[in-house]
A and B are shown apart, each in its own frame.
Chain A
């Protein structure tokens, strides 16, 4: 013994004889315990079988304990003759072995004592109480004997027990029960444990092997695992690791059972995912509290998981709904180029061409709406109002997301139903506005540009409700915004009027109608894309196809944003009047006097003179102009007030025409009743023939009231014998 160096705390370098001495010092206490057990055994002979069996186990454990203590070198470890010093692990194992029978004695003793307290075999009570006290003493003695040598300095289980007992005293965990798997290589320990747990109302399954535990875990669902740390073959730590590494069982609570009151092992297990630990022998209160707490935690965790799964499911359903809404929204926006409105045009542009362009000769159009969220509040639309007039719109609903999308659907539906029965863009917007103001309790509003484009003349009538003004890009790249006309967003103020304007879109000119998502796209410095960048793109792409113009705009916005999230829906519609090799115009201003018609006739003849196809048609155009202007002078100016009448003549590759503007009373000569052409002389009425001439001789006639002006459009087409411009 003198050769030993003093041991540092926690270090196991004590020589063997000392270790054996210490173990053997327990012998008197062990003998006393055995005597009590024996006396209990004699009493128990008259009692029921299960009690006898339990006491027999206690006596067996006492015997086993005595054997170990009497000759620890044989029972606990093989004596190493060479060094005589077992290493720390061997000693740890030995202590574990030593404590196991004591745990059994204490466990069975406590259970039987509880039975006795409940009135079963009350005669055993004094003996059992002594037995439990003795076993506790033995454990304390072992702790005392080896403290600082093999064990760490952590508080003894009894102290923990006392602390916990008072802490959990008020907790009511009795209601929480569950299915528990108990794993311990000592069958007696398991028996005590499972009986305790069953008394608490739990459903308990047991196994003595780590391997079988893993097998059971793979088959069954448990609420809790009580896992002995020190087991042969696969130890508790490894079982724990496997439980935590399998996704199926990773969240299963595991309470380690540690006979060795060893912080390092316990900490390792807690690090590996164990929820808690229980020192052996089981203190009934501590067991109840820790198992109850773990099950409650598991129950809450399961609830939380069920809740989050339900949330995920709901999120998924919502995502699917939004995706369906997004596809629905995109599908209600027209995606094909405007089809030829009438069969004559269809034939003219040919089947293959229609399949490719599916567009009316003279118009190129494409559009796109990219919502910022799944669904957006922007929309575009285009549709033929009749054979010659293409209605088109871009709109932006206040707000974004689902609410905006619903309002967008309403606005789009209103536009489609209102446009065909409106007298023009301003009237159309005024009507939609009135509809949107009815019961608009959410105070939603929508800005809109709505234009009616006359395909053959290139005249565009438009009205704007609080929307950005479209940009016109001429053939040479010059850009300009359409003149603003009065009008605020739709759905704000009931019964307001909208201004309207009419411009000619010269051949080859591109119109870009957009929502503010384009110009207000921001980059990482919070700068806006802006109108000037948009104009730059339009300028550089002026010769490109409309698809290419659109793609370039969207590409430029995207590049500008450079990963910044899209804040608003981005909508853009590109309309181009097809190029024409020839495009001449002439404005003639007349006084509202009949003799002025002679002056007009001369100018018309002069304008078309020398043109092989258009020249012969000037007679018919003159006649039509003569008739409508005669009507205008007669009905538009009944008080003979002096005024001017403007006539804009135009000539391009395949048509001639004129637009007549006057400031007379609102008067549409085209509304005059058709004359009687069939009756015999006597019944034949005078009048109505002139307008009939204009309608018959022209290919298209159109009237609209624009602000304080009457506008009348006359178009006469001719076959271009030269190659037709596409």
Chain B
């Protein structure tokens, strides 16, 4: 899986493509946590992730905890209907600030 980061104003937008599952979660965890540690405002654009399993959710939960511990901000955007459903049944919609697109997310946290 590819993970890209681009800076937009004060925020960093992280995006990727493909499956976020037990096969890819370790790689993704390394990349995301590194950004979360370094950047005070991070937007994770999920539009390219067509599949997220519990392994992916685990990485997102770790990221949220680390972000909060560091006093940083994390926002999510671009959830596909399937991924939104996964968020829904895991109670994750309440844990994250979720926006329709990266523009709204950057405006909210930066």
Q: Please determine whether A598 and B23 come into contact, CB atoms closer than 8 angstroms.
A: yes
Question: Chain A 520-533 against B: per-residue CB contact (8 Å), 1 yes, 0 no?
Answer: 00000000000000
Task: Say yes or no: is A690 at the interface (Cβ < 8 Å to chain B).
Answer: yes
The 5 A-B pairs of least Cβ separation, nearest first, read A677-B91, A690-B54, A689-B54, A630-B22, A696-B89
Interface residues, chain B, with chain A CB atoms under 8 Å away: 19, 21-23, 51, 53-55, 57-58, 61-62, 64-65, 68, 82, 86, 89-91, 95
- Write the nearest CB–CB distance from A82 to chain B, whole angstroms: 134
Q: Which residues of B contact A595 (CB under 8 A)?
A: 23
Q: Which residues of B contact A455 (CB under 8 A)?
A: none
Q: Please determine whether B23 and A693 come into contact, CB atoms closer than 8 angstroms.
A: no
| Interface 9-mer from A312-320, A561-569, A679-687 | A679-687
Q: Which chain B residue shows the least CB distance to A687? A: B58
Q: Please determine whether A630 and B90 come into contact, CB atoms closer than 8 angstroms.
A: no
Task: Say yes or no: is A311 at the interface (Cβ < 8 Å to chain B).
Answer: no
Q: Please determine whether A693 and B65 come into contact, CB atoms closer than 8 angstroms.
A: no
Report 28 cross-chain contacts, Cβ distance below 8 Å, ordered by A residue.
A595-B23, A597-B21, A597-B22, A597-B23, A598-B19, A601-B51, A619-B82, A622-B51, A626-B22, A627-B54, A630-B21, A630-B55, A677-B90, A680-B95, A681-B65, A681-B68, A681-B95, A682-B68, A684-B61, A686-B58, A686-B62, A687-B58, A689-B57, A690-B54, A693-B53, A693-B86, A693-B90, A697-B89
The residue in B23, B62, B65, B82 that gathers the most chain A C-beta atoms within 10 A of its C-beta is B23
- The answer for the CA separation of A309 and B55 in the assembled complex, in Å, is 85
Q: Which residues of B contact A597 (CB under 8 A)?
A: 21-23
Q: Please determine whether A630 and B91 come into contact, CB atoms closer than 8 angstroms.
A: no
Q: Please determine whether A678 and B89 come into contact, CB atoms closer than 8 angstroms.
A: no
Q: Which chain A residue shows the least CB distance to B52? A: A623
Question: Chain A 674-717 against B: per-residue CB contact (8 Å), 1 yes, 0 no?
Answer: 01011011101011011011001100000000000000000000
Q: Which chain A residue shows the least CB distance to B68? A: A681
Please pick, from A601, A623, A680, A689, the residue contacting B58 in the complex, using a CB distance under 8 A.
A689
Q: Which residues of B contact A626 (CB under 8 A)?
A: 21-22, 53
- The answer for the CA separation of A675 and B95 in the assembled complex, in Å, is 15
Interface of B is mostly: helix
Q: Which residues of A contact B86 (CB under 8 A)?
A: 623, 693
Q: Please determine whether A693 and B22 come into contact, CB atoms closer than 8 angstroms.
A: no
Q: Which residues of A contact B65 (CB under 8 A)?
A: 681-682, 684
Q: Which residues of B contact A697 (CB under 8 A)?
A: 89
Interface residues, chain A, with chain B CB atoms under 8 Å away: 594-595, 597-598, 601, 619, 622-623, 626-627, 630, 675, 677-678, 680-682, 684, 686-687, 689-690, 692-693, 696-697
Q: Which residues of A contact B90 (CB under 8 A)?
A: 675, 677, 689, 692-693
Q: Please determine whether A693 and B54 come into contact, CB atoms closer than 8 angstroms.
A: yes
- The answer for the CA separation of A533 and B95 in the assembled complex, in Å, is 67
The residue in B22, B23, B57 that gathers the most chain A C-beta atoms within 10 A of its C-beta is B22
- The answer for the CA separation of A594 and B55 in the assembled complex, in Å, is 12
Q: Which chain B residue shows the least CB distance to A680? A: B95
Q: Which residues of A contact B89 (CB under 8 A)?
A: 692-693, 696-697
Please pick, from B19, B51, B54, B95, the residue contacting A684 in the complex, using a CB distance under 8 A.
B95
- The answer for the CA separation of A697 and B82 in the assembled complex, in Å, is 12
The residue in A601, A682, A690 that gathers the most chain B C-beta atoms within 10 A of its C-beta is A690
- Write the nearest CB–CB distance from B19 to chain A, whole angstroms: 7
Q: Which residues of A contact B23 (CB under 8 A)?
A: 594-595, 597-598
Q: Which chain B residue shows the least CB distance to A596? A: B23
Q: Please determine whether A594 and B95 come into contact, CB atoms closer than 8 angstroms.
A: no
- The answer for the CA separation of A682 and B64 in the assembled complex, in Å, is 9
16 additional contacts, CB 8 Å, given A681-B68, A693-B89? A597-B21, A597-B23, A598-B23, A601-B51, A619-B51, A623-B86, A626-B22, A675-B90, A681-B61, A682-B65, A684-B95, A686-B61, A689-B58, A690-B54, A693-B53, A693-B86
- The answer for the CA separation of A623 and B95 in the assembled complex, in Å, is 22
The residue in B54, B55, B82 that gathers the most chain A C-beta atoms within 10 A of its C-beta is B54
- Write the nearest CB–CB distance from A625 to chain B, whole angstroms: 10
Q: Which residues of A contact B57 (CB under 8 A)?
A: 689
- The answer for the CA separation of A627 and B58 in the assembled complex, in Å, is 13
- The answer for the CA separation of A139 and B64 in the assembled complex, in Å, is 142
- The answer for the CA separation of A622 and B62 in the assembled complex, in Å, is 24
Q: A598-B23, A692-B90 are in contact. Are A630 and B53 (CB under 8 A)?
A: yes
Q: Which chain A residue shows the least CB distance to B58? A: A686
Q: A619-B82, A623-B86, A626-B21 are in contact. Are A681 and B53 (CB under 8 A)?
A: no
Q: Please determine whether A627 and B53 come into contact, CB atoms closer than 8 angstroms.
A: yes
- The answer for the CA separation of A684 and B63 in the assembled complex, in Å, is 12
Q: Which residues of B contact A594 (CB under 8 A)?
A: 22-23
- The answer for the CA separation of A270 and B105 in the assembled complex, in Å, is 126
- Write the nearest CB–CB distance from A199 to chain B, whole angstroms: 112
Q: Please determine whether B53 and A690 come into contact, CB atoms closer than 8 angstroms.
A: yes
- Write the nearest CB–CB distance from B58 to chain A, whole angstroms: 5
Q: Which residues of B contact A678 (CB under 8 A)?
A: 91
Q: Which chain B residue shows the least CB distance to A624? A: B53
- Write the nearest CB–CB distance from B89 to chain A, whole angstroms: 5
Q: A619-B82, A693-B90 are in contact. Are A681 and B54 (CB under 8 A)?
A: no
- The answer for the CA separation of A692 and B61 in the assembled complex, in Å, is 16
Q: Which residues of B contact A684 (CB under 8 A)?
A: 61, 65, 95
- The answer for the CA separation of A687 and B23 in the assembled complex, in Å, is 16
Q: Please determine whether B58 and A681 come into contact, CB atoms closer than 8 angstroms.
A: no
Q: Which residues of A contact B61 (CB under 8 A)?
A: 681, 684, 686
- Write the nearest CB–CB distance from A681 to chain B, whole angstroms: 5
Q: Which chain B residue shows the least CB distance to A626? A: B53
- The answer for the CA separation of A574 and B49 in the assembled complex, in Å, is 50
- Write the nearest CB–CB distance from B97 to chain A, whole angstroms: 11
Q: Which residues of B contact A687 (CB under 8 A)?
A: 58
Q: Which residues of A contact B64 (CB under 8 A)?
A: 681
Q: Which chain B residue shows the least CB distance to A622? A: B51
Q: Which residues of A contact B21 (CB under 8 A)?
A: 597, 626, 630
Q: Which residues of B contact A682 (CB under 8 A)?
A: 65, 68
- The answer for the CA separation of A692 and B65 in the assembled complex, in Å, is 22
- The answer for the CA separation of A689 and B51 in the assembled complex, in Å, is 15
The residue in A680, A684, A689 that gathers the most chain B C-beta atoms within 10 A of its C-beta is A689
- The answer for the CA separation of A626 and B55 in the assembled complex, in Å, is 10
- The answer for the CA separation of A619 and B95 in the assembled complex, in Å, is 24
Q: Which chain B residue shows the least CB distance to A593? A: B23
